[in-house]
């Protein structure tokens, strides 16, 4: 029986991989018919892969040491699963980065190819000088735009943005499918070799460790470059975003990939496998009735089947968006025959990109809910509705959290508008209103998490809470596709700017970037909700594994644990923010120095030293990710050994409480500042270049490490600490 579970998991994991492979084949066929675009794409690609290589070479010894310690403490099994988890996460990050940095230039070129021939001339020929990207003494003139050799693809139906959506989304969906594919394959392989759910959790520990380092390191890299490029380039020197005269521009564009692709991919890989592992661990021992039979393999298998069905649902969803995927047209024609769907498919075929993304996600979600219903009945007969409704309550809570997040952080609603309005009285009030907004935004999501916890628990105990988290993440395949497609489009825009392509190209890529945002917000809500529920489930799994009766907060050891645990997210955030601001400070000094010392840099005749900026970001990311990452592993172990397993339980509880709050607070403050700045740039409150804008830029800069470094890493932090405790539980 358990071999059957392994088999099914493996099959769907491989299916996801195959889908990614075929999409990649199609993507790889297309050419970039513009030399400067191709060159820039390859520089960014090279920079990103070089960073990843360095990062992994820093992490390898860490993984080795932990593995040796695990062998000594728990035996070979746990060490094997840990290393496999780390390897799968690293591989997913590597492939994702490889593909994404191969898709950005193709997206730019596809957007260029989609433009009418008479608009293909560069817009700012006379105004802006060009800078050679390769090291050379004499500045080369790249100001001519080569006529595209051939459009990227002949059959693009998404006419609004030409093939650009297709290309960018192809890249995104490869990232998404590789993550879930490797997740399932890794789980299946470790399960096959270990056949022990408890030892299996070390797989999650490996994934979490890599994820934390990747998130923190990636976040530091990208924000140091971003802040440096923005504050000196845009604000002080007054040159546009992604201007090739800005020495930090390459680091900035590499950083987008390091942070948003590799960082996010590792993050979701971790969330995905840990939600499944937590549900497996609890499912193995759960029984619906007091003293009844444990679910055993039924409880272990259900989350795996949910995930497997999620892969299938995600693939179908992707096919609704990307018509070049294998069998996509067949699938669409089948769906078009369903009642009411003919018009939907037609609208997608006519090229409504925003609608396509939304529909793809909804189709995947709908399939997922239907599948959950059927699987619940197959697995749990009389208790099927309890389980099904648990999953549904979790998914609903996640979606509402996404909507609430959107309302707090989008420029379309009053909250961000009021942050923007506070720029009338300067930077200080922008900061205060953004901080206040972020703190307030913890309210509804926390209440929703509480509600979903209570409902799921009432219906199916802690197993219900755990599978609710699995349900929220089961369509990670498509939601990560949508998430990852954004930075690809963003990067494509950067390349367009640096290549001095006509403005229309940038408009297309900006449009592509924007339309993914609302859909991505829903994914973020699911990620936050699932992080909280997964952490709770792992926490309960820990107390089972450590044979703890009760973690009584009237016990002073538990109180002390709670306080220490509650403190850790603050220390963690402090370290991350500090790392970013130090690195950004160094970057600012360097960019200022170059503007000052390199002759002709502003006229485009002097070549900026891009490499120096890349080196600053790389160095900061690698050196500064160590302490927060190691702290997350060492402190729980210390507390467990020194103060006992109840105190460790308290620590986990405390860290979940403040971790969830701080994650929501920082992500939403950061998001609101970002969009308040954009709202002003759209022309409100005196628009770009006004004192209001300058005040909003301060907010945006403060928000950068909030939303892209510390905030998202907190979700990983609380799970990593919990999974470390769970893996080591037999020792306490």
* Sites for a copy of itself among residues 391-450 (CB under 8 A): 422, 424-429, 431-433, 435-440, 442-443, 446-447, 449-450
**Torsions phi, psi for 326 (to 5 deg):** -60, 140
The footprint of a copy of itself on residues 614-673 (CB under 8 A) is 649-650, 653-654, 657-658, 660-661, 665
Closer to a copy of itself by Cβ: residue 24 or 685: 685
CB of 273 to a copy of itself, least distance (A): 23
- Do residues 656 and 718 lie in contact, with contact meaning Cβ atoms separated by under 8 Å? yes
- Do residues 189 and 85 lie in contact, with contact meaning Cβ atoms separated by under 8 Å? no
Closer to a copy of itself by Cβ: residue 520 or 564: 564
User: Measured between alpha carbons, how far is residue 657 from residues 59, 450, 540, 660, 715 in Å?
Assistant: 29, 12, 15, 6, 11
Element spanning 340, H or E: none
Residue with tokens 């990649």: 24
CA-wise closest residue to 379 among 455, 297, 277, 464: 297
Closer to a copy of itself by Cβ: residue 504 or 585: 585
Total residues contacting a copy of itself (rule CB under 8 A)? 78
- Do residues 175 and 484 lie in contact, with contact meaning Cβ atoms separated by under 8 Å? yes
Give the Cα separation of 498 and 524 in Å (integer). Answer: 30
Count Cα neighbours of 286 within 13 Å in the Cβ-side half-sphere.
Answer: 28
Q: Judged by CB under 8 A, which of 96, 105, 233, 566 binds a copy of itself?
A: 566
Residue 160 near a copy of itself by CB under 8 A = no
The footprint of a copy of itself on residues 667-706 (CB under 8 A) is 697-698, 701-702, 705
CA-wise closest residue to 715 among 198, 58, 269: 269
CB of 662 to a copy of itself, least distance (A): 9
Closer to a copy of itself by Cβ: residue 121 or 447: 447
Please choose, out of 91-99, 193-201, 258-266, 531-539, the segment that lies near a copy of itself by the rule CB under 8 A: 531-539
Q: What is the dihedral of CA 102, 710, 662, 637, to 10 degrees?
A: 110
Residue 527 near a copy of itself by CB under 8 A = no
The footprint of a copy of itself on residues 701-730 (CB under 8 A) is 701-702, 705
Helix H, strand E, coil C: the string for 662-703 is HHHHHHHHHHHHHHHHHHHHCCCCCCCCCHHHHHHHHHHHHH
Q: Judged by CB under 8 A, which of 4, 7, 327, 570 binds a copy of itself?
A: 570
The footprint of a copy of itself on residues 201-260 (CB under 8 A) is 227, 231
Please choose, out of 241-249, 263-271, 488-496, 561-569, the segment that lies near a copy of itself by the rule CB under 8 A: 561-569
The footprint of a copy of itself on residues 95-154 (CB under 8 A) is none
Residue 454 near a copy of itself by CB under 8 A = yes
Residue with tokens 């749990």: 380
Residue 605 near a copy of itself by CB under 8 A = no
Residue 462 near a copy of itself by CB under 8 A = yes
- Six token digits for residue 696: 């909003």
- Do residues 523 and 483 lie in contact, with contact meaning Cβ atoms separated by under 8 Å? yes
Residue 18 near a copy of itself by CB under 8 A = no
- Do residues 572 and 711 lie in contact, with contact meaning Cβ atoms separated by under 8 Å? no
CA-wise closest residue to 628 among 530, 721, 535: 721
Closer to a copy of itself by Cβ: residue 15 or 568: 568
Residue 453 near a copy of itself by CB under 8 A = yes
Please choose, out of 257-265, 277-285, 467-475, 583-591, the segment that lies near a copy of itself by the rule CB under 8 A: 583-591
Q: Judged by CB under 8 A, which of 372, 581, 594, 624 binds a copy of itself?
A: 581
């Amino acid at each position: 029986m358990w071999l059957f579970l392994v088999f099914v998991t493996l099959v769907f994991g491989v299916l996801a991989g195959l889908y990614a492979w075929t999409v990649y084949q199609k993507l790889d066929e297309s050419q970039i018919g513009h030399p400067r675009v191709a060159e820039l794409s390859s520089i960014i690609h090279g920079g990103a892969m070089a960073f990843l290589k360095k990062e992994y070479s820093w992490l390898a010894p860490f993984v080795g040491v932990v593995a040796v310690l695990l062998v000594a403490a728990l035996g070979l099994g746990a060490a094997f699963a840990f290393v496999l988890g780390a390897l799968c996460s690293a591989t997913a990050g590597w492939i994702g980065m490889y593909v994404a940095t191969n898709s950005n230039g193709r997206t730019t070129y596809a957007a260029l190819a989609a433009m009418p021939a008479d608009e293909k001339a560069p817009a700012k020929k006379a105004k802006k000088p060009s800078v050679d990207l390769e090291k050379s003494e004499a500045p080369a003139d790249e100001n001519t735009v080569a006529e595209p050799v051939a459009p990227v693809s002949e059959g693009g139906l998404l006419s609004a943005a030409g093939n650009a959506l297709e290309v960018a989304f192809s890249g995104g969906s490869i990232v998404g499918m590789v993550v879930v594919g490797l997740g399932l394959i890794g789980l299946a392989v470790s399960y096959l070799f270990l056949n022990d759910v408890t030892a299996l959790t070390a797989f999650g520990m490996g994934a979490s460790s890599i994820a934390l380092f990747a998130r923190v390191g990636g976040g530091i890299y990208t924000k140091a470059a971003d802040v440096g490029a923005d504050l000196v380039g845009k604000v002080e020197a007054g040159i546009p975003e992604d201007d090739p005269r800005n020495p930090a521009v390459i680091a900035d564009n590499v950083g987008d990939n390091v942070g948003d692709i590799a960082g996010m991919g590792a993050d979701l890989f971790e969330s995905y496998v840990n939600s499944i592992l937590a549900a497996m661990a609890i499912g193995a021992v759960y029984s619906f009735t007091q003293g009844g039979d444990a679910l055993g393999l039924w409880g272990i298998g259900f989350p795996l089947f949910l995930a497997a069905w999620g892969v299938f649902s995600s693939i179908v969803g992707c096919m609704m968006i990307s018509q070049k995927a294998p069998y996509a047209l067949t699938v669409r024609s089948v769906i078009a025959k369903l009642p009411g769907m003919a018009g939907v498919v037609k609208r997608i075929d006519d090229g409504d990109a925003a609608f396509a993304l939304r529909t793809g996600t909804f189709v995947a979600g709908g399939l997922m809910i239907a599948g959950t219903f059927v699987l619940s009945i197959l697995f749990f007969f009389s208790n099927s509705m309890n389980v099904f409704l648990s999953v549904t309550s979790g998914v609903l809570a996640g979606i509402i959290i996404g909507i609430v997040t959107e309302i707090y952080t989008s420029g379309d609603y009053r909250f961000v508008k009021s942050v923007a309005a506070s720029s009338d009285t300067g930077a200080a009030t922008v900061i205060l209103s953004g901080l206040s907004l972020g703190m307030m935004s913890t309210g509804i999501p926390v209440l929703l998490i509480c509600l979903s916890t209570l409902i799921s628990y009432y219906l199916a105990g802690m197993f219900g809470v755990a599978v609710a988290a699995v349900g929220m993440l089961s369509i990670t395949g498509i939601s990560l596709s949508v998430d990852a497609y954004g930075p690809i489009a963003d990067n494509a825009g950067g390349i367009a700017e640096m290549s001095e392509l006509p403005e229309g190209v940038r408009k297309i890529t900006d449009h592509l970037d924007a339309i993914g945002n609302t859909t991505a917000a829903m994914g973020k809500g699911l990620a936050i909700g699932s992080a909280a529920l997964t952490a709770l489930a792992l926490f309960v799994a820990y107390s089972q594994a450590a044979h703890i009766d009760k973690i009584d907060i009237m016990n002073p050891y538990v109180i002390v644990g709670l306080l220490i645990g509650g403190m850790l997210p603050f220390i963690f955030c402090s370290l991350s923010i500090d790392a970013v601001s130090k690195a950004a400070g160094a970057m600012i000094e360097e960019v200022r120095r170059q503007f000052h010392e390199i002759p002709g840099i502003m006229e485009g005749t002097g070549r900026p030293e891009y490499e120096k900026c890349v080196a600053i970001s790389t160095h900061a990311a690698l050196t500064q990710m160590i302490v927060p990452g190691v702290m997350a592993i060492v402190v729980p172990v210390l507390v467990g050994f020194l103060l006992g397993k109840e105190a460790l339980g308290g620590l986990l509880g405390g860290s979940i409480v403040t971790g969830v709050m701080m994650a929501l607070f920082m992500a939403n403050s950061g998001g609101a500042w970002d969009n308040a700045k954009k709202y002003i740039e759209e022309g409100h409150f005196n628009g770009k270049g006004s004192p209001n804008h300058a005040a909003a830029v301060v907010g945006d800069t403060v928000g950068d490490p909030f939303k892209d470094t510390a905030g998202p890493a907190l979700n990983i932090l609380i799970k990593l600490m919990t999974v470390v405790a769970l893996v080591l539980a037999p020792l306490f």
